[in-house]
Amino acid sequence: MKEQLEKIRQAAAHALDAVETGEALEAVRVRFLGKKGELTAVLRGMGALTPEERPVIGQLANEARTYIEGKIEEKKAAVAAKKREAKLANEVIDVTVPGRRKPVGRLHPLHQVLNEITDIFTGMGFSVAEGPDIETDYYNFEALNIPSDHPARDTQDTFYINDNIILRTQTSPVQIRVMEHTKPPIRMIAPGRVFRSDAVDATHSPVFHQIEGLVIDKGITMADLKGTLEAVVKGLYGPDAKIRLRPHHFPFTEPSAEVDVSCFACGGKGCGMCKGEGWIEILGAGMVHPKVLKVGGIDPEVYSGFAFGLGLERIAMFKYGIDDLRLFFENDLRFLRQF
């Protein structure tokens, strides 16, 4: 039995020397130390020994087990170290290899144009005001001198929630709210979403964006309006851009005007973009109607002012040469990545 224990010890050492993987190491452990292992089989035969022989053989068996277990632990550490070294060798980073750029998000083109317009106006001393998307009939119509029989109140144009609550059709209600809580002088713009009951096509959408502008002070005239709008247009389209004012009618301004900008594609000579006219309409404007000033709590005998409203999508389409309004809302990354 002594010779058998020595052979098991030598066989285990030889088997462990050849081990290269964790699976092979486990197989050696089971072969020699498992329930049906070679050393276990020897220990089961100790019952046939004499009382004098049992302690001697038991000690030898324990020494053999301790030796094999120690060798297994040594080999386990060696196999783990080898595995770690191989893993590190495969994961070596070559710092000379060019990196992979991750896609970076950016602002929506409408937001980019809005920021540009806002910077122009804040640079001239304007503040930015906001108002609710869900508006009352009073602020959206009554306070802006739009009588109850005006076509703008037709349900084909306006989304009515009930008889008194609507989705605002313009950002002009913000000017009333500002006048109610602010004493002149006032210089503000009010960008925001507006809603109209329009069919979706290349130039119409039920949801779009406007920027309302309002200036109120003593001695404000149409000349101030024209100078302000010229500064804005030159800031957007370059120093050669020009504007012209055409007589028009809006219930909340008197006198009123449609404002055109010289075509930035042809410089005013006439092309397909401006339909050969050399001018492109961009906004409506005028002097604030005295009735609107009174509703806002401002004395029209002391103060005067001008207001204007421009469509953000329209400005962006002209700026980037886009011919379909729907592109702004379809979330097509191929389109958005161009900005």
**What tens digit of pLDDT does each residue of 131-161 get?**
999 999 999 999 999 988 877 677 668 899 9
- pLDDT band per the 50, 70, 90 thresholds, residue 2: confident
Averaged pLDDT, 172-182: 94
Q: Is the pLDDT of residue 55 over 80?
A: no
- pLDDT band per the 50, 70, 90 thresholds, residue 62: confident
Q: Residue 103's pLDDT is what? A: 82
Q: Write the pLDDT tens digit of every residue in 182-221.
A: 999 999 999 999 999 888 888 889 999 999 999 999 999 9
Report CA-CA distances (Å) from 115 to 118, 142, 233, 236, 315: 5, 31, 15, 11, 12
- pLDDT band per the 50, 70, 90 thresholds, residue 46: low
Q: Write the pLDDT tens digit of every residue in 244-259.
A: 999 998 899 999 999 9
Q: Residue 197's pLDDT is what? A: 87
Q: Which amino acid is at 308?
A: F
For the stretch 294-302, contacts whose Cβ atoms lie closer than 8 Å and that sit 24 or more positions apart, written own/partner, are 295/143, 295/145, 295/176, 295/179, 296/143, 296/175, 296/176, 296/178, 296/179, 296/180, 297/179, 297/180, 298/179, 298/184, 298/216, 302/218
Averaged pLDDT, 290-315: 94
Distance CA 37, CA 15 (A): 14
**pTM for this one?**
0.67
**Is the Cβ–Cβ distance between 316 and 328 less than 8 Å?**
yes
